[in-house]
Structure 1
Amino acid sequence: MINGHHVVVLGAGYTGMFAAIRLAHRTRRAGVRITLVNPSARFVERLRMHQIAAGQKLADHRIPDLLAGTGVTFVQGTAAAIDPEARRVTVDGAAAPLAYDTLVYAVGSATDTAKVPGADTHAYTLNGPERAGRFAERLARLAGTGGGAVAVCGGGLTGIEAATEIAEAHPGLNVTLVSAEEPGSMMGDKARAYLHRALHRLGITLETGVRVAKVMPGAIELADGRRIRSDLCLWTAGVKVPPLAADAGIATDDHGLILTDATLRSVSHPEIHAVGDAAAVRLAYGQLHGSCQSGLPTAQYTADTIARLLRGKSVKPFRFGYFHQPVSLGRRDAVIQFTRADFTPVGMRLTGRGAVWYKELVSGSPLMTYRYSKRMNVTTVVSKGGRATRTSAA
């Protein structure tokens, strides 16, 4: 029976927000109740956290405002426990547990500072606007002294974007990017060369092929024994997910991600749908990595799947193919590497002003998607990957 069916969405990041809004539109006449749970009332644009870290002020988007007109109920609080047998979620601060018929698990991920000694106490992260803002305050004070050293640990896309943003905004600082792998290693030769020219132009020092062994006040120690001065350290290496699902006895992988079937439902509890960073989604070419590019399609698919299941209709397996790797290099430069479905690069790329416009369009697209999704079914899947996604991975 559809009428009165209660869907609880845990997490109002990119995927949880989209899943809630799209599902509300798809079931607006069916009597389905939807509740969205999130610790903060502010919608976090994770794609822009490096901008806050560099000292830029961003718009403050409030979750209740984004949900206005959808009929979705917003509950501010942290999900503390899930009882999958009773189908209830305990939310800190709530008067009573939330009972659900269907659960959408979209709790996301965060930077992991637990694996390297000192990272949790002497390094900053981009885990939310408050923490990025605290880093920005320290950065401004350091820049005000006329010089100083900043170490950005982690050479993935987040680390690259943070390092270039900081170096551009504060040219008087010595910025070092420390990475176990070559920055841009996933790109083609020409796009990677362009990225490295941008790093050189901005005066960023590269320490590659080495891991950080310890973070200390005023320095970081590398695995080869060298120490690098660091008046301020930004940690962007490694991710973790909350232990919420694993603690509840829901089937997860070794990293705590919910194991899903071909329709993104929990293999142990099919009334639970997992999307975004907290879902272990396997396709023929491998497991999806956490990104907005793949996360929004999982949310779109899950909202449509729940709507179809409530109407007694069949669903097809989830399919998705990557198509780009967009990277900002400060506010005035960027590089876009276009890819095959499995995220490997092709010969096509975009750089310079055109890439800046493209990256800004990508960063702003989720909010625009939410606005339009209140009135229509907005498609976020650019590619289903063709042959690469037609067979599930083992």
Structure 2
Amino acid sequence: MTEKTHVIVIGGGYAGVLAANHLLQRGDLEVTLVNARPEFVERIRLHQLAIGTDDAVADYAELLGERVRLVVDKATRIDTAARRLELASGTALDYDYLIYAVGSTSGAAPESAYRLGELEDARRLAARLQDVPVSAPVVVVGGGLTGIEAASEFASESAGTRPVTLVTGPILGPSLSGPGRKSVARQLAELGVTVIEGPTVTGVDAHAVTLSDGRTLAAEVTVWTAGFGVPKLAADSGLRTDELGRLLTDETLTSIDDARVIAAGDAAAPSGLPLRMSCQAALPLGAQAANTVLARLAGTDPAPVNQAFTGQCISIGRDGGTIQLARTDDTPIPLYIGGRTAALIKEQVCKGTLSFLRKEARRPGAYFWLKGGKRARRLAGTEAVRA
């Protein structure tokens, strides 16, 4: 009997699950998904977990194809010379190809602040919010999409209309257009969120936040959403990464150091120009990483990255939102959808994401994505707006 080609996917997030399922188009592959948790995390719902309106997890049994083997363990080192993945349990797995889809994490935060980028972070924050009275002041640091969604969620009726201050730094919603930013600001104001633009945070303790302009804000809970990081697995394994830790690849998502290692999702930096960290980018990148492996196995040339963006979906509490429309290269345009309609669209997007994964599990190769994102222009030096 001919031994099957073994492909390991590291990371069970949006990109990793899509990649694992997409590989099943070939019946002669053995596919293993390695993930540190036994359940899928809906990162786009972690702000809901914090206030108890969603658990932000899903069962892998519903999302993975039957031929995908799930190994619940933490990857600690990639031995590219031996084509072996070492695990925290002390065991190791041999591979023929490896898809690196480890995702991203929260950025560094002060000791007294609560992060929101991981399941454990959100659960810890949820426990803290339950321990303090609804009247206790909450400060959210970071004016990006995560900060906006967190601040609005904590100030909503679902959370008891807590007093919330959002400290954005230089600007609220830097990835948005002017009209989109005004839509967000207006809805935050309607929820009673105080927005402070300009000053940065210079200090955080258990009961207060200090700003660079000298002000001190009362804060029984400080939520830190400023910045993202990437696991150091690639760098620790001797593979070259960018300054944030994303694996450096060519335009086919193949590591510039090893043709057997392909990247997908937030941890990929094709040509040193990574796409915006987002679920919207992760799923197509997962499919394209799988396609690179499939092409190599078929003896054909892998296709370069080809995907387009449509915009950014922001929930503002449970009843509001802003859908920022964009050009295919992710540059925002001065058009948006706001209010209740945007909230409904955002909810359908969240539900639809899991639906895409389930469908791909049932019918590998069924997933499709919008293409034509003018990446060639970006490679030639055209700068795109990035969150």
TM-score bracket for this pair, using the shorter chain length: over 0.9
What amino acid sits opposite 1:231 in the alignment?
E
**1:9 matches 2:5:** no
Going from structure 1 to structure 2, the CA distance change for 1:289 and 1:60 (only over 3 Å counts) comes to closer
State whether residues 10 and 100 of structure 2, in contact with CA within 8 Å, keep that contact through their aligned partners in structure 1.
Answer: yes
Report the CA distance shift for 1:16/1:2 in structure 2 as closer, same or farther (over 3 A): farther
Q: How many residues align?
A: 379
Structure 1 CA distance, aligned partners of 2:2 and 2:335? 47
Write out the 4+ residue segments of structure 1 that deviate beyond 6 Å after TM superposition: none
Are residue 209 (structure 1) and residue 204 (structure 2) matched? no
> Which range is displaced more, 339-348 or 38-47?
339-348
Match of 1:101 in 2: 96
Determine the structure 1 residue equivalent to 2:296.
309
1:133 aligns with 2:133: no
Contact conserved, 1:341 with 1:388, CA < 8 A, in 2? no
Q: What SS does the aligned partner of 2:85 have?
A: strand
- Following superposition, the deviation at residue 171 of structure 1 comes to 4.7
Select which of 193, 210, 226 maps to 1:237: 226
Which whole-Å deviations, capped at 9, do the CAs of 1:64-101 have from their partners, x for residues lacking one? 4422x43011100110111111111111125x311111
Q: Deviations over 1:191-223 (max 9, x none)?
A: 221111111111111111122122111011222
Q: Distance in 1 between matches of 2:315 and 2:348?
A: 12
Q: 2: CA distance between counterparts of 1:150 and 1:380?
A: 41
Identity of matched residues, %: 39
> Residue 61 of structure 1: which of 37, 46, 58 is its match?
58
Instruction: Give the drift of 1:54.
Output: 2.0
Aligned in 2, Cα 1:185/1:392: closer, same or farther, shift over 3 Å? closer
What's the counterpart of residue 267 of structure 1? Answer: 256
1:3, 1:211 → 2: CA distance? 57
Change (3 A) 1:391 1:343: closer
- CA deviation profile, 1:276-304 (whole Å, cap 9, x unmatched): 11111348xx5312111111111111112
User: How does the TM-score come out when normalised to structure 2?
Assistant: 0.92
Counterpart of 1:61, as a letter, is A
d(CA) in 2 for partners of 1:214 and 1:363? 35
**Quick check: 2:42–2:57 contact (8 Å CA) kept in 1?**
no
The one of 16, 29, 32 equivalent to 1:32 is: 29
Report the CA distance between 1:34 and its aligned residue. 0.7
* Contact 1:55-1:133 at 8 Å conserved across structures: no
Query: Is 1:185 the counterpart of 2:180 in the alignment?
Result: no
1:52 aligns with 2:53: no
Counterpart Cα distance in 1 of 2:50 and 2:41: 14
2:30 is equivalent to residue 42 of structure 1: no
Task: List gaps (5 residues or longer) in structure 2.
Answer: 382-387
* Preserved contact between residue 36 and residue 75 of structure 1 (Cα < 8 Å): yes
Instruction: Find the counterpart in structure 1 of residue 242 from structure 2.
Output: 253
Match of 1:318 among 300, 305, 314: 305
Alignment partner of 1:307: what SS?
helix
Deviation at 1:264, TM superposition (A): 0.5
Q: Tell me the distance in 1 between the aligned counterparts of 2:72 and 2:127.
A: 27
Taking the aligned partners of 1:79 and 1:337, their CA distance within structure 2 comes to 37
- Please give the secondary structure, in 2, of the residue aligned with 1:365: helix
Aligned position for 1:228: 217
Give secondary structure in 1 for the equivalent of 2:32.
strand
Looking at structure 1, the residues matched to 216 and 86 of structure 2 have their Cα atoms a distance apart, in angstroms, of: 45
Q: Secondary structure at the match of 1:122?
A: coil
What's the offset of the Cα at 1:393?
4.6
Structural RMSD (CA): 2.0
Structure 2 residue matching 1:207: 3-state secondary structure: strand
Please report the TM-score for the alignment, with normalisation by the length of structure 1.
0.91
What CA deviation, in whole Å up to 9, does each residue of 1:110-133 have, x standing for no partner?
11125xxxx1x2111123333212
Matches within 5 A, 1:284-299: 286-299=273-286
Q: Distance in 2 between matches of 1:133 and 1:328?
A: 20
